[in-house]
Amino acid sequence: MSAPLDLPKWADTILVPAISVVAAFLVAGLVVLAIGENPLTATRWLLLGSLGTGEGLGFTLFYMTDFIFVGLAVAVAYHAGLFNIGGEGQATLAGFGIALVLNNLTFLPGFLLIPLGILGAAAFGALWAAIPGYLQAKRGSHIVITTIMFNWLASVLLVYLLVNVLREPQSMNPETRAFPDASHIPYMHDVFAAFGIEIPNSQLNLTLVLALAASYCVWLLIYRSRLGYAIRVVGSNPSAAVYAGISPARIIIIAMVISGALAGGLAVNELMGYQHRLLLEFTSGYGFVGIAVALMGRAHPVGIILASLLFGILYQGGAELAFEQPAITRDMVVVIGGIIILFAGALDGLFRRLVAHLFARQKLARA
Amino acid sequence: MSPAIELIAINKSFGAVHANKDVNLSVARGTIHGVVGENGAGKSTLMSILYGFYEADSGEIRVNGKPIAIRSPIDAICAGIGMVHQHFMLVEPLSVVENVMLGAEGGAMLRVGEAKVRAELARLAKDYGLEIDVDATVGDLSVGLQQRVEILKALYRGADILILDEPTAVLTPAEADALFGLLRSLKEQGKTVILITHKLREIMAITDRVSVMRRGEMVATVETANTSPPELAELMVGRRVLLRVEKDEKTPGAPLLEVDNLSVVDSRGVLRVASASFTVRAGEIVGIAGVAGNGQSELLEAIAGMRQPVLGSIRLEGKAIHSSEHNPHRMRQLGLLHVPEDRLRTGLVPAFPAFESAILGFSDEPHLGRGPILDHDRLIADLAQKMEQYDVRPPAPRLKSSKFSGGNQQKIVLAREIERNPKVLLVGQPTRGVDIGAIEFIHRRLIALRDSGVAILLVSVELDEIMNLSDRILTMCGGKITGERKASQTNEQELGLLMAGVVDEAA
């Protein structure tokens, strides 16, 4: 028997991840030191760049919006016992769905076009996730393998579509024409301006509100609804699910559909909120960040929001850092991000065990 | 002569749980010493300390009078202590010789070691009557013989002191008798045996002395000849317990569950249940006796709709169940409820709070929430009430299901099924891993349910339990129903023969 891994809830959800982050920063600091830079200045630039200015904060929250969606996507599948690595591909297809809706229904007003665009994203993301879900449920093909393959398929499919089908004839760029103006999700600075409040311009748009609403809905779904109950039974005890008359195959497909639809949120934020056209590689690998976000957030919406904020800081602050201290390149920032993912995800159990041990000892001393 | 084993003031805690409190135990050389206690009384912890799986927080271990430190099973083996686990630690595709050699190969090349093992096994066979085909593949051996391989492994490593953890749980009565014969001959050769069990009958049959543990403490050590099962049960539980539940003879009513010619194949295509036919009537408990793994589990699962039978049919209240509605969900709606054999794997979700486990299988019931959303307050209140009724301890609906003891988990499962007024109740291993005190409670509930007119199909590997509760007994062996007896007109010997597949001359 190993040491009991029971922790008070606050320690489990806040203390352990915090220790992981601190440890990650310490190790990252050593890396920075090793290339001859001062880790303290680096940290200063990182935080200043992401939180220190209104503009920086806007960008941080913009990235956070992306990460919340992909984090939730991974989490919902995770509760059904599935490891959805395919957020990247699902978001890519969602982008295609958006372009199909927006560029074909140009005559509609914004209040119809925007929801339809979002639905298009959700539907295409869901479809792209449903296929691996079906293969897992009915054919036993491992979801990790199939979702990875579907990432490649999505990426190649998008190249084909943009080069051969969707590209504007006179354009040299592999991208669609711009979406109609009515379909743009309003920028946050414009929204605030409408109320007479001035905030710095950034890519941040109202999709953030949608992400927070989605977080609440996912919480309600997973922890309070009958469907979420069935999802969690399948994820944590498949034979109990069979006993209970819950069909694991059905739940696996449903969970993947929801997961894929949520991954579509990444495309909504990037395309409808900022780029306003469909272009190559708009997902920038954020689909994979979702895995780290979900792991770090313990697959709970609140944890995912906090982890998304952290990764938002890292992405925005990292960009500033690479700009201010050229010795620390973009690649270096990726390394630091990797270290954090390593500590928060893979090594999470290490600190959990340690903290649990300390708690047990303390309890014993008091007894 | 100093005792073979002396444990002095052993203490061990896991977090807040004080699993062993100042435990003393002295085992005389050349005796069979029983250790009894309820689940969680600390027997396994104590033996794990003796075998080096855990280190005691404090206390002393003496072997043959000499204090020694046992930090790992290797130390224990060197001190001449061997252990036969409840779940065998064997490599099934390997032969007996290879299994015995495992971890004691004696060098990089196997030939030398193998010759030594063969010679030693031949000697052990001669000395103790431990005959076995040394080249047989372990996976092909019967459970009784696999256990023999475990004993041989321990003896080969020079064990003078043998610890057996619940050794008869997986054996037929005949195999258990053979094991007891073997233990006696080991004793005659001067070996010391420590027998951990919760079956008082075995303690009475074979041990010289018996030690009783309760809540981490050693409460008594007595000469077996001077004690009785009721006294031991009282020592284990700390209060008087009824080992036999009283029940009146009743005339059963209409047939509620009719199983006709049912055959079940498992996922590997092996035939598990072969043409089983029987009837369970209202107000009747029908027990299925059999050694674990003879098709009882598959039979229950097939009736409950968890597996599709390949052949045969079932009828509920006289109505044939079409294969399209033969699924757990529909069967529940029709009034066939199911207390599954394996609580932790099937009956509840260990990671869920108890109130969520308490609706497993019923999460679609409209009154449990509004629309798609479950009403947690209501679930918690519902379970709190049931916990009071069933004396679940602690009465904490929000506590994780895995945190309850086996008996209390079982009460949660029973409460869930019984309180939904079944017409037919399938019950698998209702008291496996359950404390004696809770067994009494569960048995009373099942009898009360029978008296109220429910048809109960009971599967248990505890023959005592089957004989105690059932009105009629079916025996199963190799997937076939090998006999049927009225509980009042049979005995253990007869059932034992039927369970071993001896053809029923009365049939």
Strand-pair category, B373-374 with B369-370: antiparallel
Q: Name every chain B residue with its beta carbon within 8 A of the beta carbon of A230.
A: 363
* Nearest residue in A to B328, CA atom: A245
User: Quick check: B58 contacting A, CB < 8 Å?
Assistant: no
Amino acid code (one letter) for B356: E
Does A232 or B12 have the greater pLDDT score? A232
The string of DSSP codes covering B30-80 is T-EEEEEE-TTSSHHHHHHHHTTSS--SEEEEEETTEEE---SHHHHHHTT
* Nearest residue in A to B13, CA atom: A364
Q: Count how many domains chain B has.
A: 3
The pLDDT assigned to A105 comes to 93
* Nearest residue in B to A237, CA atom: B349
Name which of A101, A94, A160, A158 is nearest A128 in CA terms.
A94
Residue B166 binned pLDDT confidence (cut-offs 50, 70, 90) = confident
Interface test with A, best of B346, B377, B409 (most A CBs within 10 A): B346
**Does residue B303 sit in the same domain as residue B444?**
yes
Q: Give the CATH number for residue B465.
A: 3.40.50.300
Residue range(s) defining the domain that contains residue A103: 63-298
Average pLDDT over residues A150-178: 91
What CA–CA distance (Å, rounded) separates A66 from B255? 62
Strand-pair category, B58-63 with B5-14: antiparallel
Q: Name every chain B residue with its beta carbon within 8 A of the beta carbon of A358.
A: none
Q: How many CB atoms lie within 10 A of CB A185?
A: 23
User: Quick check: B15 contacting A, CB < 8 Å?
Assistant: yes
Its ipTM equals 0.85
Q: Is residue A349 part of a domain?
A: no
With tokens 């220790």, the residue in question is A19
What CA–CA distance (Å, rounded) separates A210 from B255? 58
* Nearest residue in A to B330, CA atom: A245
The pLDDT assigned to B41 comes to 80
Residue A25 binned pLDDT confidence (cut-offs 50, 70, 90) = confident
* Nearest residue in B to A235, CA atom: B349
Q: Is residue B159 part of a domain?
A: yes
Q: Is residue B340 part of a domain?
A: no
Residue A168 binned pLDDT confidence (cut-offs 50, 70, 90) = confident
Q: Is residue A280 part of a domain?
A: yes
**Does residue B156 sit in the same domain as residue B268?**
no
Interface contact flag, B16 A367, Cβ < 8 Å: yes
Interface contact flag, B347 A240, Cβ < 8 Å: yes
Name which of B369, B365, B393 is nearest B380 in CA terms.
B369
**Does residue B330 sit in the same domain as residue B369?**
no
Q: Name every chain B residue with its beta carbon within 8 A of the beta carbon of A140.
A: none
Interface contact flag, A243 B369, Cβ < 8 Å: no
Using the predicted structure, report yes or no on whether residue B333 has a pLDDT greater than 60.
yes
Average pLDDT over residues B303-320: 93
**How does pLDDT run across B293-304, given as a tens digit for each residue?**
788 989 999 999
Average pLDDT over residues A262-271: 97
Interface contact flag, A6 B15, Cβ < 8 Å: yes
Q: B14: distance to nearest CA of chain A, Å?
A: 7
**Does residue B298 sit in the same domain as residue B214?**
no
Q: Is residue A286 part of a domain?
A: yes
**How does pLDDT run across B431-452, given as a tens digit for each residue?**
887 777 788 889 999 999 999 9
Interface contact flag, A229 B363, Cβ < 8 Å: yes
Query: Last residue of a domain, which of B421, B445, B475?
Result: B421
Interface contact flag, B347 A237, Cβ < 8 Å: no
**How does pLDDT run across B206-216, given as a tens digit for each residue?**
999 999 998 88
Q: How many CB atoms lie within 10 A of CB A323?
A: 12
- Is-contact B300 B248, C-beta < 8 A? no
**How does pLDDT run across A90-143, given as a tens digit for each residue?**
999 999 999 999 999 999 999 999 999 999 999 999 999 999 999 999 999 999
Interface test with B, best of A7, A12, A237, A353 (most B CBs within 10 A): A237
Q: A277: distance to nearest CA of chain B, Å?
A: 37
Average pLDDT over residues A75-84: 97
User: Quick check: B370 contacting A, CB < 8 Å?
Assistant: no
Positive or negative torsion for Cα A20, A23, A28, A31: negative
What is the model's pTM?
0.82
**Does residue B81 sit in the same domain as residue B228?**
yes
Interface contact flag, A229 B54, Cβ < 8 Å: no
Residue A3 binned pLDDT confidence (cut-offs 50, 70, 90) = very low
Q: A247: distance to nearest CA of chain B, Å?
A: 10
In Å, how far are A243, B44, B416 from B342, measured between CA atoms?
11, 21, 15
Q: How many CB atoms lie within 10 A of CB B386?
A: 22
* Nearest residue in A to B377, CA atom: A224
Three-class secondary structure of residue A132 per DSSP: helix
Average pLDDT over residues A309-329: 88
Interface contact flag, B364 A220, Cβ < 8 Å: no
Q: Count how many domains chain A has.
A: 1
Name which of B181, B56, B190 is nearest B129 in CA terms.
B181
Q: Name every chain A residue with its beta carbon within 8 A of the beta carbon of B346.
A: 237, 239-240, 242-243
Query: Last residue of a domain, which of B421, B448, B470?
Result: B421
Residue of B327, B342, B373 with shortest CB distance to A225: B373
- Is-contact A121 A114, C-beta < 8 A? no
The string of DSSP codes covering A239-261 is HHHHHHT--HHHHHHHHHHHHHH
Average pLDDT over residues A30-37: 88
In Å, how far are B456, B469, B495 from B249, measured between CA atoms?
15, 11, 21
Q: Name every chain B residue with its beta carbon within 8 A of the beta carbon of A239.
A: 342, 345-346
Interface contact flag, A367 B327, Cβ < 8 Å: no
User: Exposed, middle or buried, B133 (CB in 10 Å: 0-12/13-18/19+)?
Assistant: exposed
> Furthest-apart CA pair in chain B: how many Å?
74
The pLDDT assigned to B103 comes to 80
Q: B334: distance to nearest CA of chain A, Å?
A: 13
Interface contact flag, B15 A232, Cβ < 8 Å: no
* Nearest residue in A to B402, CA atom: A6
Q: Is residue B405 part of a domain?
A: yes
Average pLDDT over residues A269-297: 92
User: Quick check: B347 contacting A, CB < 8 Å?
Assistant: yes
**Does residue B470 sit in the same domain as residue B488?**
yes
Residue range(s) defining the domain that contains residue B389: 350-421
Interface contact flag, A224 B376, Cβ < 8 Å: yes
Using the predicted structure, report yes or no on whether residue A366 has a pLDDT greater than 70.
no
**How does pLDDT run across B255-303, given as a tens digit for each residue?**
999 999 999 998 778 889 999 999 999 999 999 998 877 889 899 999 9
Interface contact flag, B349 A229, Cβ < 8 Å: no
Query: Last residue of a domain, which of B404, B421, B438?
Result: B421
Q: A296: distance to nearest CA of chain B, Å?
A: 19
Residue A309 binned pLDDT confidence (cut-offs 50, 70, 90) = very high
What CA–CA distance (Å, rounded) separates A70 from A286? 8
Task: For chain B, give the percent of residues with pLDDT over 70.
Answer: 98
Mean residue pLDDT across chain A: 90
**Does residue B69 sit in the same domain as residue B192?**
yes
Mean residue pLDDT across chain B: 89
Average pLDDT over residues B327-334: 94
User: Quick check: B352 contacting A, CB < 8 Å?
Assistant: yes
Task: For chain A, give the percent of residues with pLDDT over 90.
Answer: 66
Interface contact flag, A225 B372, Cβ < 8 Å: yes
Average pLDDT over residues B160-188: 87
Tokens of B133: 């085909």
Residue of B15, B329, B340 with shortest CB distance to A360: B15
The pLDDT assigned to B507 comes to 45
Task: For chain B, give the percent of residues with pLDDT over 90.
Answer: 53
**Does residue B147 sit in the same domain as residue B253?**
no
For helices A87-104 and A248-267, what crossing angle results, to 10°?
60
Residue A1 binned pLDDT confidence (cut-offs 50, 70, 90) = very low
Average pLDDT over residues B71-88: 88
Residue of A1, A245, A364 with shortest CB distance to B328: A245
Interface contact flag, A225 B328, Cβ < 8 Å: no
Average pLDDT over residues A331-342: 80
Residue of A232, A239, A363 with shortest CB distance to B15: A363
Residue A22 binned pLDDT confidence (cut-offs 50, 70, 90) = confident
User: Quick check: B328 contacting A, CB < 8 Å?
Assistant: yes
